[in-house]
A and B are shown apart, each in its own frame.
Chain A
Amino acid sequence: MNLEYTDKQNAFREQVRSWLAANVPAEPLQSFDTAEGFAQHRQWEATLNEGRWGMVTWPEELGGRGCDLIEWLIFEEEYYRARAPLRVNQNGIFLLGPTLMEYGTEEQKARILPKMANGEEVWAQGWSEPNAGSDMAAIRSTARLEGDKYIINGQKTWSTRAVWADWCFGMFRTDPDSERHRGLTFILVPLDSPGITVRPIPQLDGLPGFAEIFFDNVEVAVENRLGDEGAGWSVAMATAGFERGLMLRSPARFQETARRLVELYRDNRASADRDPAVKDAVIRSYLDAESYCLTTYQTACRLNKGGKIGAESSTNKIFWSELDQSMHATAMSILGARAELLPHAPDAKGVGNWLDGWLFSQSGPIYAGTNEVQRNIIAERMLGMPRR
């Protein structure tokens, strides 16, 4: 055990820090759930890619830097410290990208990954359906193979980033006689295909962060199938694994929230301390964010040495999503009567973006597999409790 960074890791951090200092936009971008903000974020992805900072863990020949997981964590720490923009193409670069590298053909990788990397093609997710939410194996949207095309029919919902995205990926039932997780196929669909209707769904903040996608005899070339026909479930599980795992929710994000919470408390101590529970909640927030960081480093070091991620990784999503929710709840308590004010309200001095974060934190325990489903997985797969 040696918990000091190497010279190489320190040098890498310096390199990231100085590039970000020179390139992160001085003014925060608009929300990527607006048309203008989406365009700004797409441009930022291109800027990142030009500096070869878009996907540091990708191999060098694909425009990455071949970073290991510790360097990835360092990159993220600097990224969040610098308050750099959120990643509009995270569905692509963090979820689909790694899955493509594992399951994609050479042709698919060459065709898809570069445009994903430079933000030219932004990706949306297409998992859930009206009757397939937590129970994803209940998917009913179909894809029928005709010659060299799939004909897709059905409906996806809660499709994040679908309003302005260029492509979506998801699972479709290719074997009409199949049930549950058999007979599903992973297919990539251009969202400008004839027969597609995207209906935006306003989220809690009023912006269309997700959408319904209707498929009416949509033709998709068979070259857009990822993995074998009928193997969609195992391909999707790899993607869902990345989603829950390190890539999407690295600790830096929560440590920065915890740091801002400590500052908010210090700046408002006199009023905050009227509720004695607040101080305790701030201390807990700091400790839990720190625990999340330490545990992630431990896992990353183990994986770097060739270890495998085990069933204990299903604890990850519960931990960060509930931490995020409780940190924002604490901030709302500290802000008191001002907490409900939108940031542009004339008397909303000092409210920062806590309200936005509070709203978003409500989604954490729901998306990427509800925390109830995660708890079942922990009980059954990690602890070995009976299914029935």
Chain B
Amino acid sequence: MDFTFTEDQLLFQESVRDFLVNEVTPERIRRCWESGTGRDPELWGQLAELGLTGMTVPEAFGGLGMSEVDFVLLAQECGYVALPEPLVHTVLVAVPMLAELGGALAAEWLPKIASGEALVVVGLEENQLVEDAHVADLLLLQQGDSLFAASRDQVDLRYNESVDPSRKLYAVTVSSGATEVARAADAQALIARALNRGALGSAAQALGLAQRMVEISVQYTSERQQFGQAIGAFQAVKHHMANVAVRLEYAKAPVYRAAYELAVSGERSGRAVSHAKLVACEAANLAAKNCIQVHGAMGYTWEVDLHIFMKKAWALANTWGDAGFHKSRVADDIFADNAALGAGATFA
């Protein structure tokens, strides 16, 4: 029993955090919002150079061959800066699906993902829309009980604007020539695993987003003076922040546990992922609610950076299975007749 990260994993987290905090500033995110595609190819190149796009690509295909446990802390850091680039999607969803599909598809696309030359996106019906379809070189799309691979010229796209200007969402119709790459039970298994990994990615980012919103708000309330003192000295304001800190503190271990279960393909990964997604997104939503409140009217403006993080938190809460999906899954599990519950059951 060792529920800790290795020194290497923690050092990697620290160096990626330093990089992201320096490079992915709120100013750069705002510039991205106004660019044509909403993407930042220079940043993507930098991420690839650091090996990040190839984190989970097998070494044989030019990647680092790492696991969900290795990446989960980095996904958290992506949330901390509200990274607009689809790194979490790539590392946790697209790459593992390609690797599981194997064959020519994996051989062709995985090296290009690792080098940063290509972007592959996955579209599941649970998400309804597909992120970054407009810049994808390959799309892996669920159509009922089948999975299709399509290039961008084999699909029609309809853009949908999100509350989070970083998220570019498309309704995708397969027009012609797409290839069925998996069907029936095989496809269902691939789709289920992709959904779990996507949910883990959203949960981990939610942790980082909540952390960042709290830090922004602690700083603001320590500076803002009213009634002759910093408003952060008022208990009503303190308790708003403390309530977030409590929910956030207890959401971390479930997210790391979910990463572990996915990495070892544990039997309980479904329940673990749903648990992680529910509590992490709830913590981030509470952070958004309490942080805008302690900002007063400033929090309701476009100008103050808080909304960059708040809006991503709101959006991610309903990706890769909304609360209804995940709560139902937990309910089915724990209300079953033979459910293993109670003291001693957690790791049994």
Contacts and interface: CB of A to CB of B under 8 A. Distances in A.
Q: Which range contains the number of A residues in contact with the other chain?
A: 35 or more
Given A286-B334, A298-B253, A319 B246 contact: yes
A256 B3 CA distance: 22
Contacts of B260: 1, 3
Given A297-B253, A375-B239, A378-B246, A283 B330 contact: yes
Contacts of B347: 3-5, 297
B253 A287 contact: no
Contacts of B222: 384-386
A341 to B, nearest CB: 26
A292 B331 CA distance: 19
B342 interface: yes
By secondary structure, the B interface counts as helix
Given A384-B218, A385-B218, A385-B233, 10 more contacts: A81-B342, A255-B343, A262-B341, A265-B335, A297-B346, A315-B249, A372-B235, A379-B245, A383-B241, A385-B241
A318 B238 CA distance: 15
Contact of B345 (A255, A288, A298, A375): A255
Contacts of B69: 1
B343 A375 contact: no
Nearest to B278: A287
Nearest to B327: A283
A6 B1 CA distance: 7
A384 B243 CA distance: 14
Given A256-B342, A295-B253, A9 B334 contact: no
Contacts of A80: 343
A280 interface: yes
Contacts of B279: 287-288, 291
9 contacts: A1-B260, A3-B347, A70-B1, A287-B330, A288-B279, A375-B242, A379-B238, A379-B245, A380-B238
Contact of A383 (B245, B257, B330, B331): B245
A272 to B, nearest CB: 11
Nearest to A375: B242
Contacts of A279: 331
Most chain B CB within a 10 A radius of its CB, from A76, A265, A383? A383
A344 interface: no
B221 interface: yes
Contacts of A81: 342-344
A239 B251 CA distance: 27
A286 to B, nearest CB: 5
Contacts of B253: 291, 294-295, 297-298
A380 B5 CA distance: 28
Given A286-B341, A295-B252, A301 B233 contact: no
A379 B345 CA distance: 34
A291 B279 CA distance: 9
Contact of A2 (B2, B239, B251): B2
A378 B3 contact: no
Contacts of B230: 386, 388
Interface string A365-386: 0000000101110111011111
Most chain-B Cβ atoms within 10 A of its Cβ — which of A76, A293, A305?
A: A293
Interface residues of B, number: 50
A2 B238 contact: no
Nearest to A291: B250
B232 interface: yes
A259 interface: yes
A199 interface: no
B229 interface: yes
Interface string B118-142: 0000000000000000000000000
Contacts of A76: 343
A77 interface: yes
Interface string A1-42: 111111001000100000000000000000000000000000
B214 interface: yes
Given A77-B343, A318-B246, A385-B221, A301 B238 contact: no
Contact of B335 (A4, A262, A319): A262
B256 interface: yes
B95 to A, nearest CB: 20
A295 B250 contact: yes
A324 interface: no
Given A255-B346, A291-B254, A384-B218, A3 B239 contact: no
B39 interface: no
Contacts of A258: 341-342
Given A3-B3, A386-B222, A77 B238 contact: no
B35 interface: no
Interface in B242-295: 242-243, 245-246, 249-254, 256-257, 260-261, 275, 278-279
Interface in A283-338: 283, 286-288, 290-295, 297-298, 300-302, 305, 312, 315, 318-319
A78 B342 contact: no
Given A3-B1, A3-B3, A13 B344 contact: yes
A9 B1 contact: yes
A294 B254 contact: yes
A181 B255 CA distance: 40
Contacts of A251: 343
B339 interface: yes
Contact of A294 (B214, B245, B346): B346
Contacts of A262: 334-335, 339, 341
Interface string B206-250: 000000001000100110000001101101011101110110011
A387 interface: yes
